[in-house]
Structure 1
Amino acid sequence: MAGSSAEGRARRVALIGYGKIGRTVAQHVRELGCEVAFALDPVAEAEDGTTIVRTGSPELYEGIDLVVECATATALVEQIDDVLERTNLMPFSLTAFSDDDVLERAKRTAQEHGHAIYLPHGAILGLDGIWDARSILTEVSIVTTKSPASLGLAACSEPKTVFEGCTRDACAAFPRNVNVHAAVALAGIGFSRTHSMIVADPNVTTNTHVISVKGEGIEFTLNISSFTTGGVTGVYTPLSACGSLDRVLKDAGGLSFV
């Protein structure tokens, strides 16, 4: 899939979602000397001069070099065809791709129209290692521990497991909280074979992910912890979003993790 670019760099970037990640990305886009064309968000207000669009439409994406989605899986699915028919996409709500029909349609649309889907690593350091080893992997599991509030759950007095099963079902149960799991599944052995566990712990102020990987002649564990400032997003993810944006803007084209 070849991506459109201007002199190897995207110049006009649009956003779907204008929360914590969206605002950080918008600031970074401007620091890079690029233009934030608009942010599609039904409720957000912008004090930084960003144009906010409330309702999506196909013509919005004409002349855009890259769309960064940082809203919800539902918003991504609603816009994905219109986006990929016209430009490149970097989505953060990767739980949307737990639906095989959505994933295959996205890849097909991007290929037919010559556009790229960039999969950001988000909070997962080492995702490239999982991607590189995917052909020899036999087991992948992820344990995420967050506060009940970060998971959108009522308060509890002690840690408890609120989900255990395949990652596909985890994405359906917690679509806003397990994009990490979706990224690992996409990079590795898929949504049905990847095992997910989600723990609600009232004593933590971090989002912690422990990823265990086994394969032919290989075994490693990733332990990643990021402080949260409220909501579902940790401190590290917006920073990694800017790093991913840098890599995309410097080189458009091909299905790749960034």
Structure 2
Amino acid sequence: MIKIGLIGVGNLGQFLLEKINKEHILAGYTISAICDERVKAIHTMPALAKAYHVKAYDQLDDFLNADIDLVVECANVTAVQQYALQILAKKNLLAISVGAFVSSSFYEKVLATTQKQRTKLYLPAGAIGGLEVIQAAKVLGGLKAITITTRKPIHAFADIDTTKETIIFQGLAVEAIERFHKMQMLPLHFLLPD
């Protein structure tokens, strides 16, 4: 049995807990530990721990000393940038918030850590399903731009005061990552380089 530790118990973390620990959609895998240092999460983690039969941690050091084989980050870009090196010093990491690696210097530090510690970093395609198809279309020619639209609940943006569907950003992915570094997914309009 592969034991997973989750960093972040927001919507995505709770979705994974439900699918993996309750519905058992991944044979041979279980989430055995959760970690979230946010004050609002600390109050909800005991109920999650009981409901999904996991150990809850509010300190990363204690979490990394738990009996887990793989850490799955489902928090945000900031969490990856803050914790990836510490995690990879001890455990393998699947980072959902791949925007954290837009900084080549950060990526180089992470890569050096994985080589030194003999740990692995997994980067899924993320919010862009079918990315390989998009890349193939670009290679074949004729593809100049793609648009990806992601909808988030308004409460995810503390500085927006509206009840109507609103475009809050349109630009390059790098700019979006810098502006919305605490978000996992956001509305983007990607321009592909020639």
User: Which amino acid counterpart does residue 9 of structure 2 have in structure 1?
Assistant: Y
Once the two structures are TM-superposed, the CA of residue 80 in structure 1 deviates from its matched residue by 0.6
Once the two structures are TM-superposed, the CA of residue 135 in structure 1 deviates from its matched residue by 7.3
The structure where strand makes up a greater share of residues is 1
User: Which amino acid counterpart does residue 16 of structure 2 have in structure 1?
Assistant: V
Task: State which of 30, 39, 45 in structure 1 corresponds to 2:34.
Answer: 39
Q: Find the counterpart in structure 1 of residue 169 from structure 2.
A: 163
- Cα-to-partner distance string for 1:163-203 (whole Å, 9 max, x where unaligned): 3332211111122446468xxxxxxxxxxxxxx44xxxxxx
Q: Secondary structure at the match of 2:169?
A: strand
> Residues 145 and 68 from structure 1, CA distance in 2 versus in 1: closer, same or farther, beyond 3 angstroms?
closer
Identity %: 25
Preserved contact between residue 121 and residue 127 of structure 1 (Cα < 8 Å): yes
CA distance in 2, matches of 1:25, 1:145: 20
Report matched runs for 1:92-171 at 5 Å.
92-130=96-134, 139-144=144-149, 146=151, 149=154, 152=157, 153-155=160-162, 159=166, 161-171=167-177
Q: Find the counterpart in structure 1 of residue 12 from structure 2.
A: 21
Once the two structures are TM-superposed, the CA of residue 14 in structure 1 deviates from its matched residue by 0.6
TM (normalized to structure 2)? 0.71
Structure number with greater CO (CA < 8 Å, separation at least 6) is: 1
Once the two structures are TM-superposed, the CA of residue 39 in structure 1 deviates from its matched residue by 0.5
TM (normalized to structure 1)? 0.56
Q: Find the counterpart in structure 2 of residue 206 from structure 1.
A: none
- Cα-to-partner distance string for 1:92-125 (whole Å, 9 max, x where unaligned): 1222222332222222212332222222233322
Preserved contact between residue 94 and residue 179 of structure 1 (Cα < 8 Å): no
CA distance in 1, matches of 2:138, 2:121: 19
Once the two structures are TM-superposed, the CA of residue 158 in structure 1 deviates from its matched residue by 6.9
Task: State which of 3, 11, 22 in structure 2 corresponds to 1:12.
Answer: 3
Q: How many residues align?
A: 178
